Amino acid sequence: MLDYINRQAPTWLVQPEVLAGEEFQDCIILVFGKPRTAVFAHIDSIGFTVRYGRQLVRIGGPDTETGYRLVGEDSQGAIDCTLTVDDETGALGYEFSRDIERGTTLTFACDFRETETTVQSCYLDNRLGVWNALQLCETLQDGIVVFSCYEEHGGGTVKFLAKYIHERFAVRQALVCDITWVTEGVHAGQGCAISLRDSLIPRRSYVERIRQIAKKSGIPHQLEVEGSGGSDGKELQHGAQPWDWCFVGAPEDHVHTPHEQVHKADIDSMLRLYQVLMREL
Using CB under 8 A as the criterion, which residues of the chain lie in contact with a second copy when the complex forms? 22-26, 49-53, 57-59, 102-103, 105, 150, 153-157, 159-160, 162-163, 183-185, 196-197, 199-201, 203-205, 223, 225-227, 237-242, 244
Task: Kindly state the DSSP code that residue 98 receives in the 8-state scheme.
Answer: S
Q: How far is the CB of 246 from a second copy (least distance, A)?
A: 12
Q: Which is nearer to a second copy, 105 or 275 (CB)?
A: 105
Q: How far is the CB of 24 from a second copy (least distance, A)?
A: 7
Torsions phi, psi for 254 (to 5 deg): 60, 50
Task: HSE, CB side, 13 Å, CA atoms: give it for residue 199.
Answer: 10
Q: How far is the CB of 148 from a second copy (least distance, A)?
A: 12
- Distance, in Å, from the CA atom of 151 to the CA atom of 127, rounded to the nearest integer, reads 13
- Distance, in Å, from the CA atom of 255 to the CA atom of 128, rounded to the nearest integer, reads 13
Task: HSE, CB side, 13 Å, CA atoms: give it for residue 191.
Answer: 17
Q: How far is the CB of 45 from a second copy (least distance, A)?
A: 12
The alpha carbon of 123 is separated from its chain's Cα centroid by a whole number of angstroms, namely 9
Task: Kindly state the DSSP code that residue 24 receives in the 8-state scheme.
Answer: G
Q: Which is nearer to a second copy, 11 or 205 (CB)?
A: 205
Please report, to the nearest 10 degrees, the dihedral formed by the alpha carbons of residues 263, 266, 267, 269 taken in order.
160
Q: How far is the CB of 120 from a second copy (least distance, A)?
A: 25
Q: Which is nearer to a second copy, 198 or 266 (CB)?
A: 198
Q: Which is nearer to a second copy, 7 or 57 (CB)?
A: 57
SS3 category, 242:
coil
Q: Which is nearer to a second copy, 31 or 210 (CB)?
A: 210
